[in-house]
């Protein structure tokens, strides 16, 4: 799995440049719907890649108990939930639906999904 890390960094960097292009160049009043979909996807990919890499490198440098593959899976699993939360939060922001109730429901949904993923039925 360590061979995938440079590609993750490359995809995250390209996503970051695409994200900056959308933020700087696109007028939100005249943008088509697919620009907003691309924005959410790029936010997800950028957050997942960079946060997963940061978690992976920090965890492999601090702890030496487990294998590198285990750290890879768990680091990117944690980063997936953070990236999913930010992507869903950006959808709420685009639709102008940010309220305390909606954000609390979103937090609850992501926490329940994470608990189900970590503690759910194992095959």
| pLDDT value of residue 44 | 98
Residue 91: burial class (beta carbons within 10 Å; 0-12, 13-18, 19+): middle
| pLDDT value of residue 121 | 62
Instruction: Evaluate whether 59 touches 43 at the Cβ level (below 8 Å).
Output: no
Tokens 């949904």 found at: 109
Across the chain, mean pLDDT equals: 93
For residue 122, pLDDT beyond 70: no
Nearest to 80 by CA among 108, 121, 118, 33: 118
Q: pLDDT > 70: what percent of the chain?
A: 98
Sign of CA dihedral 10, 13, 19, 21: negative
Average pLDDT over residues 90-118: 95
Residue of higher predicted confidence among 61 and 104: 104
Q: Which of 57-61, 89-93, 110-114 has the lowest mean pLDDT?
A: 57-61
CA angle 54, 55, 61 (to 5 degrees): 90
| pLDDT value of residue 119 | 85
The predicted model scores a pTM of: 0.90
Question: What 8-state DSSP symbol labels residue 29?
Answer: T
- Taking the C-alpha atoms of residue 79 and residue 59, their distance in angstroms, rounded to an integer, is 13
């Amino acid at each position: 799995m360590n061979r995938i890390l440079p590609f993750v960094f490359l995809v995250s960097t390209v996503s970051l440049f695409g994200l900056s292009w959308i933020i700087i160049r696109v007028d939100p009043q005249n943008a088509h719907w697919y620009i907003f979909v691309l924005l959410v996807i790029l936010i997800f990919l950028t957050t997942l890649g960079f946060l997963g890499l940061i978690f992976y490198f920090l965890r492999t440098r601090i702890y030496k108990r487990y294998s590198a593959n285990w750290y890879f899976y768990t680091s990117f699993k944690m980063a997936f939930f953070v990236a999913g939360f930010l992507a869903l939060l950006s959808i709420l922001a685009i639709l102008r639906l940010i309220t305390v109730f909606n954000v609390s429901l979103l937090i609850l949904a992501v926490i329940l999904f994470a608990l189900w993923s970590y503690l759910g039925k194992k095959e």
